[in-house]
Amino acid sequence: MDNFNLQLFTGGRSALIRNQIADYLEVNGKMELCGIGFTKLDESPGAQSDSTTYINEVTSSADIIGYETEFSYEFDAVPSQKALYALWKDGRNHHTGADAQHTYVRVDLFNPVGARTGEKAEYTARQFTVSNEVSDFTGGGGEKISASGTLHAVGDPVFGKFDTVSMTFTEGDFKGKYDLDTEEEPVAPTE
């Protein structure tokens, strides 16, 4: 019987680690990494559904009719980190409306678009306009000051790619290494 290598077809078993997704916030016209200081920046798509039970059925049927995407965050206050400080100031200064909105990009560093070179490193990404709701500033005596809140998506995301060298987002239908409709020959593992 021939040895059958299932990994050729499944692509391996490695799960994503949080640092394989990068988050950027536009501050003064420049994309700034949400990194140092952040202890949490989670995504909740918030799918909205509508259920109906028709008169000839016992069980309802559900349709997804929209999304209310939110990104909850927590960070230690590190004023030198520009993205973090911009979010901090929204709460401190009681910003409302457009003053509390930001351009936010979530980048799939595990899903490259093409080969990385010295001039470019492009990955699939989504760009959002978000409203920043700062919930709390906390910290007891001798403790770090921290903040928590939620970035609420405003409208639909824009799909595209992000270049981590030039720090630019490009809108479009780009396919990364792991997109299901990308036709790529499986590579046999070396022994």
Domains, the chain, with CATH or none? 17-44+69-171 (2.30.110)
Average pLDDT over residues 107-136: 95
Report the Cα–Cα distance between both ends of the chain, in Å, rounded: 19
Please answer whether residues 162 and 168 qualify as being in contact, where contact means their C-beta atoms are separated by less than 8 angstroms.
Answer: yes
Q: pTM value?
A: 0.83
Question: Average model confidence (pLDDT) for the chain?
Answer: 89
pLDDT of 14 reads 83
Coil, helix or strand for 20? helix
**Contact between 35 and 24 (Cβ < 8 Å):** no
Instruction: Give the β-pairing of 158-163 and 122-138.
Output: antiparallel
Rounded Cα distance between 4 and 132, Å, is 51
With 80 as the cut, is the pLDDT of residue 183 above it?
no
Ramachandran angles phi, psi of 75, nearest 5°: -150, 155
| Residue 159, strand partner residues | 126
Cβ(111)–Cβ(124) under 8 Å?
yes
Query: How many CB atoms within 10 Å of residue 160?
Result: 19
Average pLDDT estimate for 5-19? 68
- Dist. CA 108–CA 10, nearest whole Å: 20
